[in-house]
Structure 1
């Protein structure tokens, strides 16, 4: 970073009284954040949201598309962290068969199913989220296979194996922040163009031994429409957003993580949430994202095009 940019970032930070990394706004509330089980188009799902005392209404919905054979329960800490920034985070378990193998495999159609769920939940009399959901705003979180499904959906394309049930990209989709995600084809021969129609951030562990950092760089370069961002989390591996390393049932990462799970989860959630809040129009999140965050957060390095 140039000296001029460093000084400018410092001035903005001082003006906004930003002296520490942003914390999830709901964390200091006296009552507990919301967490409950539901179903989305028949899939069991967990939901996380800010505490009932949080004054924010019209909470956008963030659908987390799971990695291959990674249970929804493995994302509890990450989902809670993102929810604390003002989202309703929905984490389904989606079972289907691909290439003759039955397992947990995300697909593009889950986005439209989640839009329908949000409308119903916002109107449900007994829901802790009644009249609090912004039913017109959907954003995507994704991990590995689920991130690839989300990335494909941002283009509006139906591409097997990520498109099990053909479906249109929902009009409510506003952006995506995806962890451990590349579009590198088998054999690693380049990255095809990503004709995204909504903003995309890639959050990538520098120690990822399954989705290589170089492949993430190539995917970032292939994303055609700004704003876009690549956030590299120092020392995180492929399971930097799961509650534990190498969750049961998932293929293990041969590369060890060199930072704590808490550090990688918080950093990944922070940057994902701030990117998504920015693309949803939150001005102060944008000030932090574009002008302050990379100057005050030592756990990441950042590239972006606005």
Structure 2
């Protein structure tokens, strides 16, 4: 395991070598954004500007937090898309424990694989011929992150799975914010028998999904590579556009950094982790050897 606090002396040396925080390139034309449906669910799609697309783009499915409308993830989805992804953010309505609402489920991954293959072939699509139809990754927030984490094990577990589902062969990994597998009222994280790489992005001020629960989940993840990125001062809503998404339970713990700071840091580490597991060499150099030294907004643990 490697644990290193950002902002060490190594940061200065790296800075002298002109290594900086990776960011989305400045676009000469407007990024691609449009509305669609995924298995009947209304969804928003975010992708880089056409002039910035140099190769087929992997798809990142963002599984929403409980009762957090898809519109609340616009800034985060745009930021991740800028690193070279098609980000798909559905609103998935269903009933759990007798309560109707927006609740992500595991089956959305397979539905998104179907969507991305159809969209890549659809006449008139701004993404026609631009999607890597063999590569799906997951993003997730809170309840949605837990659904994604469960799917990485291939298990069908209530309330994240209504009927038995199969982990798509196209699924390559996931990066989940404010996510843990600690049972309600429990004190021990059960093992996470993941079959694809997993990263956890965790706000240090999260009062709903605590840093301790995330640490326990990280330790329970059985198969590396794995990573835990702690975003200093961020709370449970560090990746949403506002601190008070309508319909969602509030976080009693206030965030002590700006929303822009927490969104950018969370998107940066999610995207660079996912790019690395998809085989991008430069992203891997930054992720494993440089990132935690130059990014003062986070603390990083990993097993490579």
What's the TM-score once normalised by structure 1's chain length? Answer: 0.95
Aligned match of 2:290: 292
Decide which of 141, 144, 151 is 2:142's aligned counterpart.
Answer: 144
Decide which of 192, 203, 212 is 1:194's aligned counterpart.
Answer: 192
Write the distance in 2 (CA, Å) between the matches of 1:292 and 1:50. 25
Write the distance in 2 (CA, Å) between the matches of 1:171 and 1:137. 9
Is the 2:201–2:229 contact (alpha carbons within 8 Å) kept by the matching residues of 1?
yes
Aligned match of 2:101: 103
Task: Compare relative contact order (CA 8 Å, sep 6+) and give the higher one, 1 or 2.
Answer: 2
Q: Could you report, residue by residue, the CA deviation over 1:90-148 in whole angstroms, capped at 9, with x for unpaired residues?
A: 00000000000000000000000000000000000100000000000000000000000
Write the distance in 1 (CA, Å) between the matches of 2:173 and 2:13. 29
Aligned match of 1:175: 173
Aligned match of 1:21: 21
Is the 1:12–1:291 contact (alpha carbons within 8 Å) kept by the matching residues of 2?
no
Residue 294 of structure 1: SS of its match in structure 2? helix
Aligned match of 1:58: 56
Write the distance in 2 (CA, Å) between the matches of 1:149 and 1:96. 14
Residue 262 of structure 1: SS of its match in structure 2? helix
Is the 1:13–1:292 contact (alpha carbons within 8 Å) kept by the matching residues of 2?
no
1:220 and 2:218 are equivalent in the alignment: yes
Unaligned runs of 5+ residues in structure 2 are none
1:206 and 2:204 are equivalent in the alignment: yes
Per-residue deviation at 1:164?
1.6
Per-residue deviation at 1:14?
5.5
Residue 176 of structure 1: SS of its match in structure 2? strand
Residue 106 of structure 1: SS of its match in structure 2? coil
Decide which of 261, 264, 267 is 2:262's aligned counterpart.
Answer: 264
Q: Could you report, residue by residue, the CA deviation over 1:168-204 in whole angstroms, capped at 9, with x for unpaired residues?
A: 0000000100000000001132000000000000000
